[in-house]
A = this chain, B = another copy of it.
Amino acid sequence: MLKQLNIEQIDQLQSYIEERRVVMNPALIGRVSAILEDVRMHGDEAVLRYTKQFDGMELNKLRVSSEELNAQADLCTPEFRRSMQQAKENILFYHQAQISKGYRLEKEMGIYLGQRVLPLDSVGIYVPGGSAQYPSSVLMNALPARLAGVKRIVMLTPPSKEGSIHPNIALAAKLVGIDEVYKVGGAQGIAALAYGTQSIAKVDKIVGPGNVYVACAKKLVFGDVDIDMIAGPSEILVIGDEGANPKWIAADLLSQAEHDPQASAVLLAVSQNMVDAVKQELQKQTRCLPRQKIIHESLENYGLALVCESLQQCVDISNQIAPEHLELMVDKPEELLPLVRHAGSVFLGYATCESVGDYFGGTNHVLPTGGTARFFNPLGVDSFVKKSSYLHYSIEALQAYGDSIITLAEAEQLQAHANAVKARCKT
């Protein structure tokens, strides 16, 4: 169930990863554009109409009342509540180190300049509906925004079959201090966040995962608002040395494969024995898992193993793939880490399974997928601030350097730019 490539076939490995990207065909773009435009024009009326059409739910208001939020949250177990609280503390601990303050520099003749770091005014978090619910994502999205200083954080999630929101999601919202929650999903939800409706004020940035309609809508509204990223299906790459336990490696590959049939699990080992042992374990462990069907599909399509000549070669190949999650299941992970150039999040050593980071360790689980770890960042405090620069020249400084500025402006044939300096220098 884990396809094995040899070292000459690593090009295939790369295309395996890339072909999983979210593809937006013109038909989809057309459909989603129409929804965006409709909501932009008709506001709540359009949102309620699409909610009836797509979610089969006839609502008369979109906002979740605080009574409803409290009542739903109260349905959670004490264990869940306690675990979420611990996770919250760990996430705050990790992310608080990302808070930055800007800087100010001084130069000759009263020149000074610098950068301010300011929180976004408002952020919308999209929480997908459907069979599974991911309260952990609420923490991962909202807590960095809180640390950044964002005042208004809004949550959107499609109504469940009962017309309410899931208890665990309600608890997560309360834990992060969100009280503005709407029962809206899909492209219509993204449109409401981007353009505003009568009952939902527009936001500055939209974050959170979603299906292909949500992803396409986010791509299309990008520029009108900011977005986090276009999240594709999840992936793990495990590098295992001779000391790694094949049982643990298999368990970790399965934890990725169970996400969805497009999820990818890749093993890079330094011996054929290890690959064989992991394969056996995969067979064995899968039998006991509720999501067997998804796992089989995922491993058939995107499960890969490769025997490399050295750990160095394993890391080189990993750098080509730029995985979302990278586990270094090796004796001395600290020695390999500096060689890792492209990976969303790295899990060090035998004990650190990806699920520690997914839920609890404190690092963010909103990570770049599909090879985009080459250039995209994990979600963090930085994602919820914007920078603004400032510059001060005294009149003496302007007169001292005016000729250079005029030379540069005139070289670009922008005479009025030059004149702004000249007007001040002829006094």
Q: Spell out A's residues near B (CB within 8 Å).
A: 21-22, 26, 29-30, 33, 79-80, 82-84, 86-87, 93-94, 97-98, 100, 103, 105, 107, 111, 113, 115-116, 118, 120-121, 131-136, 168, 204-205, 219, 222-226, 229-230, 247-248, 251-252, 254-255, 257-259, 285, 289-291, 295, 333, 337, 340-364, 368, 372-378, 380, 382, 386-395, 397-398, 401, 403-405, 407-409, 411-421, 423-424
User: B residues within 8 A CB of A136?
Assistant: 408, 412
* A126 to B395 CA separation, bound complex (whole angstroms): 35
Residues of B within 8 A of A359 (CB): 404-405, 408-409, 417
Q: A258-B417, A423-B247 are in contact. Are A82 and B404 (CB under 8 A)?
A: yes
Contact of A391 among B248, B295, B347, B350 (CB under 8 A): B347
A-B contact pairs, 20 of them (CB 8 A): A21-B224, A80-B408, A82-B404, A86-B404, A111-B361, A113-B363, A132-B414, A134-B412, A223-B230, A252-B420, A254-B419, A289-B415, A342-B386, A346-B390, A346-B391, A347-B390, A351-B398, A352-B393, A358-B409, A359-B405
With A290-B413, A405-B355, A408-B84 in contact, is A26–B21 under 8 Å at CB?
no
Is A417's CB under 8 angstroms from B355's CB? yes
Give every chain B residue within 8 A of A97 (Cβ-Cβ). 103, 105, 115
Pick the contact of A363 from B107, B357, B389 — CB < 8 Å? B389
Within 8 Å CB of A204, what residues of B? 374-375
Number of copies: 2
A18 → chain B closest CB, angstroms: 9
* Chain B residues with CB under 8 A of A380: 115, 387
Alpha-carbon distance between A225 and B389 when the two chains are bound, in angstroms: 26
Interfacial chain B residues near A398, Cβ < 8 Å? 351-353, 356
Contact A375 B258 (CB under 8 A): no
Chain B residues near A342 (CB-CB < 8 A): 118, 121, 386, 388
Whether A30 lies near B21 (C-beta < 8 A) is: no
* Contact (Cβ within 8 A) B255 A356: no
Known: A291-B416, A363-B391. 6 other contacts (CB 8 A): A79-B407, A93-B107, A115-B378, A120-B374, A340-B388, A351-B395
What's the dominant secondary structure at chain A's contact region? mixed
Tell me whether A83 and B252 are in contact (CB under 8 A): no
Q: How far is the CA of A287 from the CA of B366 in the complex (A)?
A: 56
Shortest A321–chain B CB gap in Å is: 14
Q: Is the CB of A290 within 8 A of B417?
A: no
A417 vs B417: C-alpha distance in the bound complex, in angstroms?
60
Q: Select A289's contact among B343, B346, B416, beta carbons within 8 Å.
A: B416
In the bound complex, what is the Cα–Cα distance between A391 and B90 (angstroms)?
12
Name the residue among A83, A226, A386 with the largest chain B CB count within 10 angstroms. A386
Give me the 4 closest cross-chain CB pairs, A-B, nearest first.
A353-B420, A83-B404, A226-B375, A348-B392
- Chain B residues within an 8 Å CB radius of A285: 416, 419
> Given known contacts A351-B398, A420-B251, is B289 in contact with A375 (CB within 8 Å)?
no
